Amino acid sequence: MAFRPEPTQPTSSNALPRTAVLWCNLGSPDAPTAKAVRPYLAQFLSDQRVVELPAALWQPILRGIILRTRPAKSAAKYASIWLPEGSPLKVWSARQAVALRGLLDSRGHAVQVQEAMRYGQPAIGARLDALKAEGVQRVLVLPAYPQYSGTTTASVIDAVNDWSRDIRRLPEFRFVADYHDDPGYIDALAHSVQRHWQANGRGDMLLMSFHGVPERTAKLGDPYSQQCMATAGLLAQRLQLSQSQWRVSFQSRFGKAKWLEPSTEAVLHELGGQGTHRLDVMCPGFTSDCLETLEEIAMEGRDTFVAAGGREYRYIPCLNDDAEWIDALAAIAQRHMGGWPTQRTAAGGDAGAGAVPKPEAR
């Protein structure tokens, strides 16, 4: 196996923090065009964590059918939600990384924070190359997925492991598996709903839509569906909702396999047909607004609900760079970096090996 040359280390060991948080999200095409969407979809749908079919069976379908027709349709959807700065998911992920580093710095932690994408750019491997070149010795891999799934969290770990195969001297890694029941995360979600209610009035029903996965993943031991239900239950409890005031559904189905139920589309049809007056909809499993929240839920979901007979449909944005969410994220990062020397020094780097950081209060 050919190995890449090791990056040159900085001349001053304290010039930069030697601990980093890699904030990993799913990714997005570089532009809302079929040309840009095609390689992004090819990478995403070639991940065997995402499509668990033998490559010999799946790749002819992907290359011969899906990548010929889907990019143009997806590009039109991306164009409907694209921001002047670019993809919403990438814009929010970058802002979250900046805010997280600023908050950790204000608490005395010399920690680099970089966002990275599992698919597309900035790629996880490229970010790790840059961090290693800057002398980073410890990396906390923090996925943007509160609920663990082999299709998401494990795929991020795969990408880190793929990069590691070509590196002789590896940094120390830690991985955050999930934070679906973290009190700070639940509080941030609850406060976002309460702010929505204060500004718009309280809806008759709160629908929590999570990204779907094939039903067979749960039978194979994936905890995702249970963690989604746990998050929803904790949020409903925090908001003091009765059982009749909230629902859970699963969106973004793909292919012919049986997926988690009930589907968001079916629930929207049902609630609209029942004449629900005001429906509040949120996506607690997404920490950044993206195609699946802004186009599929906020736009298509509204059309589905209204066409079925529903009246008022209100989408509650994701946490994005909400201050309470960044505070919760910082607490999660601090907890998982426990024991690592992250205290800031006069030279601007971390305290070096052997230093014991003082406990931080949230």
Domain range summary for the chain, segments of one domain joined by +: 19-180+323-336, 183-315
Quote the percentage of the chain above a pLDDT of 70: 91
* C-alpha to C-alpha distance for 260 and 339, rounded to whole angstroms: 39
User: End-to-end distance of the chain based on CA atoms, in angstroms?
Assistant: 46
Looking at residue 302, its pLDDT comes to 98
User: Check: CATH 3.40.50.1400 for 19-180+323-336?
Assistant: yes
Asked if residue 270 belongs to a known ligand binding site, the reply is no
DSSP 8-state code for residue 330: H
pLDDT at residue 2 is higher than 70: no
Domains 19-180+323-336 and 183-315 share a fold: yes
Q: What is the pLDDT of residues 179-203, one digit of tens each?
A: 999 999 999 999 999 999 999 999 9
* Pair of tokens at residue 39: 């390689």
Q: What is the pLDDT of residue 307?
A: 97
pLDDT, residue 254, reads 82
The candidate with the shortest Cα–Cα distance to 231, out of 323, 146, 318, is: 146
Q: Please check the confidence at residue 76 and state whether its pLDDT lies above 60.
A: yes
Whether 360 has a pLDDT exceeding 70, the answer reads: no
Helix (H, G, I), strand (E, B) or coil at 221: coil
Q: pLDDT at position 10, please?
A: 47
Residue 13 pLDDT grade (very low, low, confident, very high; cuts 50, 70, 90): very low
CA distance 229 to 235: 10
- Structure tokens of 350? 């971390």
Task: Write down the H helix ranges in the chain.
Answer: 34-45, 55-61, 67-81, 88-106, 124-133, 153-164, 183-200, 215-219, 224-238, 264-273, 302-307, 323-336
Give the three-state DSSP class for 17: coil
Does 292 carry a binding-site annotation? yes
Chain mean pLDDT for the chain = 92
Domain at 183-315, CATH class: alpha beta
For residue 114, the SS3 value is: strand
The confidence score (pLDDT) of residue 346 equals 55
pLDDT of residue 4: 52
pTM here is: 0.91
Q: What is the mean pLDDT of residues 264-277?
A: 96
Place of tokens 């239950």: 233
From 210-224, 315-329, 343-357, the region with the lowest mean pLDDT: 343-357
Per-residue pLDDT band for 347 (boundaries 50, 70, 90) equals low
